[in-house]
Structure 1
Amino acid sequence: MVKLVATILTGALLAPVISGAPAAASPQNPPYGFVAVQGSKLTIYGQPIRIKGTNYYPRDGMWASMWTNWNWNAILADTDRMRSLGMNAVRILVPYSHGGWNGANPPETRLQQLESLVNHLGANGIRSCVTLFDWETTYPAAGTQRETEHKSYINAIVGRLKNNPYVFMWDVKNEPDHPSSINGFDDWDMAPTQRDRIVSWLSRMAAHIRTIDPHHPVSVGMRWYNNNKDVIGFVDIVCFHSYWSHITNNTEIPVIKSFMGANPKPILAQEFGWPTNPTPCNRDGVLIWDYNETQQLAMYQQWLQAFANHDIAGCLQWMTYDAKSYTTNPNESFENYFGLWRYDYSLKPAGAHYRDNFQTRFFPGAPPAPLQNFTAQAMDTAVRLTWQNPTGSFDRAVVRMRTDGYPQSLTDGVLVCERPGPPGSWDTFVHTGLMNGAVYYYTAFAVDSSGQPSAPVNALGRPTQPQGGDRCGTVKLLPENAPVMLLRKIVTAVYPADGATYVSEPDRSAGVRVEAVAAGVSVGDTVNVTGKARTRVLSGVNAERTVAEASITRVDVPPVMLPGLRMRGIQVGGGPVAPYLAGARDGFGVNNVGQLVTIVGRVTAVLGTVIFVDDGSGVVDLAGRRGVMVRCPGSSLPVALGDLCAVTGIVEGSVPTGWTDTRRLVRMRDWSDILRLD
């Protein structure tokens, strides 16, 4: 990589020529957590972020040797150093054929090195600009074999990382306008034939990248700012390199902005830097005396002030480390001494200035996975929201709402709820006080402990008065004292001594306790129930939802004797229904307290009127007893210890003293509910 650094710029600048090429479309709907382009800004999660970074090579792995002398321990230490300066980005220059990249067919070892580097940096808040085709300067015509080989190279690298959020930008080529490619000029308008050939190739390669990856921004690492007029139509981010003092005379950045007209794009100073050795330096027979740390600091002060004044999207300095120790030999190449750190890893004054100025923030690491199975169920003047929390890095779920479209971020719309919970668990929230018939747009995020959100998930809710009244399962979700109307439910149990009746949906999807008994009403009857939703609290724990202050009316139809819902012991009780029911200990799935169920297993314990029935599904209480507790109608048991039996009964709320969740308990109705099987 040759940097033609001049100490003084002489000669008039050519007037800019604005390209008539159409503006490139911004990356299409980038996935949540990807860097996005919004006007002249780069954003993450909808919030602007400024790039501050470096062109990265390990100290002892410069240029192509970075890949052939791969040193992971050095990369780990380098990451900490870069973070210590507040850097949130790096540029990684990937060779085409040098360093064992093999041109059209990059080997798996090289692809894995690149992916590992990008992932490690990204997990530490540093995202990568990946520059392709380093040292490749053939720029083949369309339809040639060489162009096919170039596309094959792109397929391998872009295809590998297209879904990786830790890449913030693809850079088609480093310095395609280098003087060595355009007859020794800086401005390639002086070499129009070479310019047109290179621009054609760049536009085709950028288009090919987008066919593979439509989400990441694409750019070109232009050396000379004025040459951007010919590529600005097909890049998402406008890059320029700055090694000259005219950054201070309002030339480079204003000229680039003038090319954009009414379509601003982010501007990135992709390379800038100054060497600090040798002093003096013999350059082409001329001794240069200002390649030193004092001048480097002065140049950094000018650059960073100009970047801030012009409010560009960011900068990547050239380069991280010196490649050699300082020398007194004036013929040593100055290219070895652009680092912010000296070869002994001590920080230069310019490095300290870079650390303390042009402030930004680190990129977030890996976002949590999104919430699963997010649904919105219509209720009377309310919407029931249900979801499953993701496994992994999860702290809380956040749900927001709008009435004119789905919220787009954690701050958009109205906060509905913010609910901590265990990873992988199910949760439910009832959004009340809504208007029947109105449409409510809900967006839910999983958020980790650092406050980073997942990709959003959406659900639409439209509250309505349910036809035919409420359902038994809905009662578990209603606020305290909410009115309840259950129509044409089936009686599954009557416990006169408790003043309680249990009713079920005809399809056995849910059941609920009713705090009332009615004369002449028995198991199998169809009934209507009115009352208020309440919570039955046992030992300080929300054990069961009930219909209180209830009235039961029998419907004059033939009886329906519902069978018990067959389930394994571990399923009895089910999971919690926040915030109203605790759920069974280690429970999961749909809460089934109040339902008529049937379990099968062997009797493992007999305690008066209580037995334990175990089917081997792993139910064990705190005393070490295996199986589901069964509450019998009396002590004259038709089964004995070790017998295999089938038991039918109601899953009833039960909480031993000191528990914070419910015990798995099936309550029989009479002796016909137990059948010995051996």
Structure 2
Amino acid sequence: MKMNRNLYRAFLLITFLTLNGLILYGISSIWSYLNTGADRKTMLHLPAQLTSNYLPKVNWSPLNNDGRPMELQTLQELERDYIKAWYVKNNALETNNHYGVNDYYTDSARVKLYKVLDHNKANNISVKTTTIEHNPILNFYSADGKLAVLTDKNVQIQEQVFVDNIMLLKRSYESSFQAMLLLEDGFWRVRHLVEIENTPVSVSKDQSIPQTVLSEIRDIKGLNYYPRENPWNMFGKHFQDTVIDSDFSKIKSLGLNSIRIFIPYEGFGKTTLDTDKMSQLQRTMDLASKNKLKVTVTLFDFYGDYSLADWTLTHRHAEKIITALKDHKALQAWDIKNEPDLDFKSRGKQNVLSWLGQMVKEIRKWDNNTPITIGWSNPEAALNLTTELDFISFHYYRKPKDFLASYNALQDAINNKPIVLQEYGYSSYDGIWNAYMGSEEDQANYYKEMQTMITNAKLPFLLWTLYDFTEVPDNVVGRLPWRKSQQQHFGILDNQGNLKPAYQEIIK
């Protein structure tokens, strides 16, 4: 009987403790939920880090507003929520979905936007849009800190209008807006966003590169560079500055004066640049300067999106690199993208060209002293965007006998701008995947023929490449062994660093 009583007491005690534990757990869960609900980031239906998806340039005018002075932190919060409101609006116009609008617009503002979205949805209209640059002026900040009025001048907008999934309109324009924002629940919501008369900013028409700079382009004699041991993976944990220094010395001893290097978009961290790799890039430029080599920097390698939603992200990537390197004495040119014409079919030619054209405009804002080019994959593709570029670059891997006809046709089409043969070369691979038909002698004969034509035409050149490579990543030419084997043997030095016969044809 006594044992039963003890068991009963133990049961009651355990039950009591369990119930109290459940009650405390429930209270803590409710408290956590309420606090989470009050957190701006977790309230949103959209990703928490909106700024990682949309990064237009924002240039505030100096604060001289009526009402209360605005603190720097408050200004940053206002900018954050204002730009997020634009992102939400752009996303809603593309999808015709109300998702997220409640979080960035007050009742009256969202009603107007909902009408537009519902009309577009009913008529199967979709609008893809993004803003490139905002220039806000704070006009008023209330004494209670809950209302702000700003004018956003000369907002640069890209827009594509689709009806029944067919693009009917594509435009690039500027507009100005008056905005009123209210502070609610700790963040700023748009109360009014009204388009107003826009006054275009006068821009100097003379943005041409000095002829003294272009004369250096006409004197390019160089090669596309990757280290022997880690091609297409030059920066990162395999980076070796002593190896690069030695290679640059070899390049200079060839009588060459220039190199072209590549920055992988994702590999460098997209908008959040990898600081270690940026330091290695700076070190590479320093070593080039030490060895009296000029450098063409290809800003986007292994990039292929081009969608409007991605534009501002690529702008921030390019801006950071250009700002860091634009005054370096080794810098010779900016090459926007390696062989973008290969993406015409999969991404749409006009999408690719629009992205490239806008990138030229953005680069000129950050650096108007360095020539800009694009590394087209063939002479015919190099006819695109010729008026926007400072010099024209093309690649050529066809037979030498057809070279002069292709080059002359390009030269006739672009008037007097410099032309650079930015990639060319011949594989010495002689294995089974080439039916044992190649040889180092064939490679030397190729260069003998090509260098004669290049010299006679006084054509600047960057050959492919210094070394044969032991490994070629799959994302360069794919997995097919006959393609990878060919790519491994384009060097004028073999994979041990020994001279190949082609070497002698280069140094003549």
Which bin holds the TM-score, normalised by the shorter protein?
Answer: 0.5 to 0.7
- Quote how far apart the aligned CAs of 1:337 are: 1.1
CA contact (8 A) 1:278 1:332 kept: no
Q: Where does structure 1 lack aligned partners over 5 or more consecutive residues?
A: 1-23, 44-48, 185-192, 282-286, 357-678
Partner residue in 1 for 2:369 = 215
Partner residue in 2 for 1:87 = 256
> Which residue of 171, 174, 182 maps to 2:344?
182
Partner residue in 2 for 1:231 = 385
CA RMSD of aligned residues (A): 2.4
Q: Secondary structure in 2 aligned to 1:219?
A: strand
Deviations 1:18-38 (A, max 9, x none): xxxxxx9664459xxxx612x
Letter in 2 for 1:51: I
Could you list the runs of 4 or more consecutive aligned residues of structure 1 that deviate by over 3 angstroms after TM superposition?
A: 24-30, 65-68, 246-249, 287-290, 329-332
Deviations 1:135-194 (A, max 9, x none): 0011123xx3x111100101110010111121100000000012xx2348xxxxxxxx82
Separation in structure 1 between the aligned mates of residue 401 and residue 292 of structure 2, nearest angstrom? 29
* Residues 1:293 and 2:440 are matched in the alignment: yes
Letter in 2 for 1:338: F
Separation in structure 2 between the aligned mates of residue 51 and residue 29 of structure 1, nearest angstrom? 17
Identity of aligned residues (%): 25
* Pair 1:246–1:87, CA change in 2 (3 A): closer
Q: Secondary structure in 1 aligned to 2:271?
A: coil
CA contact (8 A) 2:226 2:234 kept: no
**Equivalent runs, 1:257-656 vs 2, <5 Å:** 257-261=411-415, 264-281=416-433, 287-312=434-459, 314-324=460-470, 333-356=485-508
* Residues 1:119 and 2:286 are matched in the alignment: yes
* Pair 1:198–1:288, CA change in 2 (3 A): farther
CA contact (8 A) 2:235 2:277 kept: no
Deviations 1:102-122 (A, max 9, x none): 111112211111111112111
- Quote how far apart the aligned CAs of 1:295 are: 1.4
Separation in structure 2 between the aligned mates of residue 148 and residue 166 of structure 1, nearest angstrom? 28
* Pair 1:63–1:36, CA change in 2 (3 A): same
Separation in structure 2 between the aligned mates of residue 175 and residue 350 of structure 1, nearest angstrom? 25
CA contact (8 A) 1:279 1:292 kept: no
Whose helix proportion is higher, 1 or 2?
Answer: 2
* Pair 1:28–1:75, CA change in 2 (3 A): same
* Pair 1:90–1:331, CA change in 2 (3 A): closer
Partner residue in 2 for 1:167 = 331
Q: Where does structure 2 lack aligned partners over 5 or more consecutive residues?
A: 1-204, 472-480
Q: Secondary structure in 2 aligned to 1:182?
A: helix
TM-score of the pair, normalised by structure 2: 0.55
Separation in structure 1 between the aligned mates of residue 437 and residue 220 of structure 2, nearest angstrom? 29
Partner residue in 1 for 2:187 = none
* Pair 1:84–1:97, CA change in 2 (3 A): same
CA contact (8 A) 1:271 1:316 kept: yes
Separation in structure 1 between the aligned mates of residue 304 and residue 401 of structure 2, nearest angstrom? 28
Q: Secondary structure in 1 aligned to 2:332?
A: strand
Q: Secondary structure in 2 aligned to 1:76?
A: helix
Partner residue in 2 for 1:411 = none
Q: Secondary structure in 2 aligned to 1:59?
A: coil
Letter in 1 for 2:466: T
- Quote how far apart the aligned CAs of 1:66 are: 4.0
- Quote how far apart the aligned CAs of 1:84 are: 1.6
* Residues 1:36 and 2:36 are matched in the alignment: no
Partner residue in 2 for 1:59 = 228
Separation in structure 1 between the aligned mates of residue 450 and residue 207 of structure 2, nearest angstrom? 28
Partner residue in 2 for 1:539 = none
Separation in structure 2 between the aligned mates of residue 240 and residue 148 of structure 1, nearest angstrom? 27
Letter in 2 for 1:73: T
* Pair 1:239–1:29, CA change in 2 (3 A): closer
* Pair 1:66–1:323, CA change in 2 (3 A): farther
- Quote how far apart the aligned CAs of 1:330 are: 6.5
- Quote how far apart the aligned CAs of 1:250 are: 2.3
Separation in structure 2 between the aligned mates of residue 331 and residue 221 of structure 1, nearest angstrom? 21
Separation in structure 1 between the aligned mates of residue 413 and residue 330 of structure 2, nearest angstrom? 30
* Pair 1:246–1:86, CA change in 2 (3 A): closer
Letter in 2 for 1:222: W
Partner residue in 2 for 1:129 = 296
- Identify the range of structure 1 (80-89 vs 288-297) with the bigger mean alpha-carbon deviation: 288-297
CA contact (8 A) 1:243 1:273 kept: yes
Deviations 1:452-477 (A, max 9, x none): xxxxxxxxxxxxxxxxxxxxxxxxxx
Letter in 1 for 2:316: S
Q: Secondary structure in 2 aligned to 1:269?
A: strand
Q: Secondary structure in 1 aligned to 2:292?
A: coil
* Pair 1:256–1:64, CA change in 2 (3 A): same
CA contact (8 A) 2:468 2:492 kept: yes
Separation in structure 2 between the aligned mates of residue 347 and residue 332 of structure 1, nearest angstrom? 22
Structure number with bigger Rg? 1
Q: Secondary structure in 1 aligned to 2:488?
A: helix
CA contact (8 A) 1:253 1:310 kept: no
CA contact (8 A) 1:140 1:147 kept: yes
Separation in structure 1 between the aligned mates of residue 213 and residue 238 of structure 2, nearest angstrom? 34
Q: Secondary structure in 2 aligned to 1:234?
A: coil
Separation in structure 1 between the aligned mates of residue 300 and residue 383 of structure 2, nearest angstrom? 22
Letter in 1 for 2:412: S
* Pair 1:113–1:247, CA change in 2 (3 A): farther
Letter in 2 for 1:78: D
Q: Secondary structure in 2 aligned to 1:241?
A: strand
* Residues 1:140 and 2:307 are matched in the alignment: yes
Deviations 1:581-625 (A, max 9, x none): xxxxxxxxxxxxxxxxxxxxxxxxxxxxxxxxxxxxxxxxxxxxx
CA contact (8 A) 1:221 1:241 kept: yes
- Quote how far apart the aligned CAs of 1:246 are: 4.6
CA contact (8 A) 1:61 1:67 kept: no
Letter in 1 for 2:463: Q
Separation in structure 2 between the aligned mates of residue 353 and residue 210 of structure 1, nearest angstrom? 38
- Quote how far apart the aligned CAs of 1:132 are: 1.0
Separation in structure 1 between the aligned mates of residue 414 and residue 439 of structure 2, nearest angstrom? 37
Q: Secondary structure in 2 aligned to 1:177?
A: helix
- Quote how far apart the aligned CAs of 1:242 are: 0.9
Q: Secondary structure in 1 aligned to 2:323?
A: helix
Separation in structure 1 between the aligned mates of residue 377 and residue 280 of structure 2, nearest angstrom? 27
Separation in structure 1 between the aligned mates of residue 496 and residue 319 of structure 2, nearest angstrom? 39
Letter in 1 for 2:357: S
Q: Secondary structure in 2 aligned to 1:36?
A: helix
Separation in structure 1 between the aligned mates of residue 254 and residue 209 of structure 2, nearest angstrom? 33
Deviations 1:186-210 (A, max 9, x none): xxxxxxx822111111111111111
TM-score of the pair, normalised by structure 1: 0.42
